Amino acid sequence: MPSDLQLKTMNLLHKTMLTLSFGKIGWQTAGMPVLKLTTTGRKSGEARTVMLTSPVQVGETIVIVASKGGEDHHPAWYLNLLAKPDVQVEWKGGAAKPMVATVATAEQKAELWPKIVAAYKGYGGYQRKTEREIPLVFLNDQA
């Protein structure tokens, strides 16, 4: 499983590829659509952007997984959106738009998890690696 440094490096490389290709390359990886999520730092108050995949979507709802490669602690972006659920999302190369993040309930996760693991088997391995319950997050347009 990737280390924090490897995850940060992959994120930087992915953002760089999008920038150098003028947004033409990098919106799909491992068979999943990629998004750019911008949260507000819970301590700094500054914008923090991370590249993530969405293994499944439910209608207009984008589903993301706070796996952090199966690490025993939640990713910073997840902690940030818990503190401030208003986020910005760039989806499939479109313009950034305001969205609201909500954490899936246990029932919602139970329903979606098999579909998520079917889309990308790595998520199942991440969950087995940690005792932490890996959360699912829903991203929806602001009402």
β-strand partners of 33: 28
* Integer angstrom CA distances of residue 99 from 4, 16, 70, 122: 26, 24, 26, 27
CA angle 91/24/28 to nearest 5° reads 55
* 22 pLDDT tier (thresholds 50, 70, 90): very low
Residues 34-78 pLDDT 10s: 999 999 999 999 999 998 999 999 999 999 999 998 999 999 999
Record the tokens describing residue 48, joined without a space.
């923090």
Specify the pairing of strand 32-40 against strand 86-91.
antiparallel
Q: pTM surpassing 0.75? A: yes
Give residue 57's domain range. 4-141
Query: CATH number of the domain that 113 lies in?
Result: 2.30.110.10
- Give the chain's domain count: 1
Per-residue pLDDT reduced to its tens digit, 80-127 = 999 999 999 999 778 999 999 999 999 999 999 999 999 999 999 999
What is the average pLDDT across 3-23?
57
